[in-house]
């Protein structure tokens, strides 16, 4: 059978377009990093209430993205939420030991994320350390309840 | 009365035997050793089934992405959540619209053509003559087409999703003024590669197999007259579209419904 190189080229370009498209969906759309796990380090923090925080949520400092939440589980000892975060390698050993973590909301109804604020302690957070000073998520219902009971008094 | 019951019985038996024939047909044509020539026949069909469908997929993907962004924006802006536009466009495209709409277009564009082609081969007795000279038509005609459909629909789905997301970007960011950074970062925060993108790919693999299977079987099994060909072509599009929509619900329930 006679081979048709134009046709083969067309099919090749078609397959290539599929592969490139999948790469685009992976990197750009679902945000898979090319960088391996070695480029981040892990911090954990316990919160009394995480509200609507989910894995993949961003971790910020002064509004700038520095990492993401990788895992949320219940601490069986204290029965509060243990949030595991991956922070960019560039900040390893630069966040002070009394750094605080708060769960913030972007906009009134937007997604929830973690905001870090550094303190003044001379010793620094290393890989695997725990942030002790945390501020739980603002739950709108509780706020309204508080407001109503204050009004009643 | 007895006639009616017998009619019902005959219809049931006919349907069952058609399902059985279709199953055997799929098994016989898929299970065969690949050869050099088979590979070349497959490339030819990839061109016919896949490459020639790219244009329609590009155009419809672009417009569906643009409409999604426009509709989504007018709804989301009421809640002050227009930043979530990227998330909405990408999730609905990757999970649902790209696999389903690409499969429906594929059934109309490639499936009907496959049925008509094989049907005409049968009506002009090309298939019988092939058997006479000792060439297995299942291997020579059907298998390359089945494999081509199975491989090319997922690729078309990826192209559809990418173009749709780009169309959403054009309307949302360039025209309606959603902040570009939040379009992409909201998308990246909410889309999971395995749960969303790969599940969409699994869907389109299933659709590719089912649509091509229905198309080639309808062509192979039709009554070899001009009326039979036209009926079989219609049946291909109708059955394939219904199968895609029905299977989509089942697959969605299994993947995202927390049932499985």
Question: What does the pLDDT average to over A127-151?
Answer: 85
A36-54: pLDDT as tens digits: 455 788 889 988 888 888 8
Q: Point out the residue among B80, B152, B185 whose CB comes nearest to the CB of A108.
A: B80
Look at A107 and A122; give whichever has higher pLDDT. A122
B135-168: pLDDT as tens digits: 888 888 888 999 999 999 999 999 999 999 999 9
What integer pLDDT is reported at residue A98 of this predicted model?
A: 86
ipTM: 0.78
A141-150: pLDDT as tens digits: 888 888 899 8
A-chain residue closest to B89, CA distance: A29
Look at A30 and B199; give whichever has higher pLDDT. B199
Residue to substitute from B179, B193, B204, interface A, most A β-carbons within 10 A = B193
A-chain residue closest to B58, CA distance: A17
- For the cut 90, the answer to whether the pLDDT of residue B65 exceeds it is yes
Chain A residues bordering chain B (beta-carbon distance below 8 Å):
1, 3-4, 7-8, 10-11, 13-15, 17-18, 21-22, 24-26, 28-32, 56-58, 65, 106-111
The sign of the dihedral angle between the CA atoms of B204, B210, B214, B220 is positive
| 3-state secondary structure (DSSP) of residue A34 | coil
Q: Strand A100-105 relative to strand A58-61: parallel, antiparallel, unpaired?
A: unpaired
Q: A112: which chain B residues are within 8 Å (Cβ-Cβ)?
A: none
Q: Do the Cβ atoms of A118 and A95 come closer than 8 Å? A: yes
Please count the residues of chain B: 260
Of A31-35, B118-122, B196-200, B204-208, where does mean pLDDT reach its minimum?
Answer: A31-35
Report CB contact under 8 Å: A14, B154. Answer: no
pLDDT tier at B59 (50, 70, 90 boundaries)?
Answer: very high
Q: Write down the pTM of the prediction.
A: 0.77
Separation of alpha carbons B77 and A33, rounded Å: 30
Beta bridge partners of A59: A67, A114
- For the cut 90, the answer to whether the pLDDT of residue B62 exceeds it is yes
Look at A120 and A20; give whichever has higher pLDDT. A20
- For the cut 70, the answer to whether the pLDDT of residue B33 exceeds it is no
Q: Do the Cβ atoms of A129 and A96 come closer than 8 Å? A: no
Look at B80 and B204; give whichever has higher pLDDT. B204
């Amino acid at each position: 059978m006679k081979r048709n190189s134009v046709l083969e080229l067309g099919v090749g370009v078609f397959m290539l377009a599929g592969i490139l498209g999948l790469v685009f969906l992976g990197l750009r759309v679902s945000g898979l990093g090319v960088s391996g796990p070695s480029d981040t380090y892990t911090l954990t923090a316990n919160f009394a209430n995480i509200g609507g925080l989910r894995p993949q949520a961003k971790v910020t400092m002064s509004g700038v993205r520095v990492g993401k939440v990788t895992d949320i589980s219940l601490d069986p000892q204290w029965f509060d939420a243990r949030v595991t975060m991956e922070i960019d390698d560039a900040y390893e050993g630069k966040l002070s030991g009394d750094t605080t973590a708060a769960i913030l909301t972007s906009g009134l109804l937007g997604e929830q994320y973690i905001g870090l604020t550094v303190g003044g302690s001379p010793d620094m957070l290393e890989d695997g350390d725990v942030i002790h000073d945390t501020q739980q998520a603002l739950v709108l219902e509780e706020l309204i309840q508080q407001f109503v009971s204050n009004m009643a008094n | 009365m007895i006639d009616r019951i017998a009619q019902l019985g005959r219809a049931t038996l006919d349907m069952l035997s058609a399902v059985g024939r279709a199953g055997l047909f799929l098994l016989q044509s898929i299970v065969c050793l690949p050869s050099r020539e088979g590979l070349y026949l497959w490339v030819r069909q990839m061109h016919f089934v896949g490459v020639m469908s790219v244009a329609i997929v590009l155009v419809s993907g672009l417009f569906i992405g643009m409409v999604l962004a426009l509709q989504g924006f007018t709804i989301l802006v009421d809640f002050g959540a227009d930043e979530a536009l990227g998330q909405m466009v990408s999730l609905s495209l990757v999970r649902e619209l790209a696999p389903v709409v690409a499969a429906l277009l594929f059934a109309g564009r490639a499936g009907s053509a496959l049925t008509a082609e094989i049907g005409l081969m049968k009506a002009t007795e090309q298939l019988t003559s092939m058997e006479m000279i000792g060439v297995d038509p299942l291997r020579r005609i059907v298998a390359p087409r089945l494999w081509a459909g199975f491989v090319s629909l997922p690729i078309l789905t990826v192209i559809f999703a990418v173009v749709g997301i780009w169309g959403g970007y054009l309307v949302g960011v360039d025209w309606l003024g959603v902040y570009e950074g939040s379009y992409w970062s909201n998308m990246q925060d909410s889309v999971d590669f395995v749960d969303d993108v790969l599940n969409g790919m699994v869907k389109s693999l299933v659709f590719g197999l089912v649509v091509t299977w229905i198309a080639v079987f309808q062509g192979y099994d039709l009554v070899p007259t001009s009326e039979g060909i036209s009926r079989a072509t219609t049946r291909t599009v109708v059955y394939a579209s219904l199968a895609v929509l029905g299977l989509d619900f089942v697959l969605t329930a299994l993947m995202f419904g927390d049932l499985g």
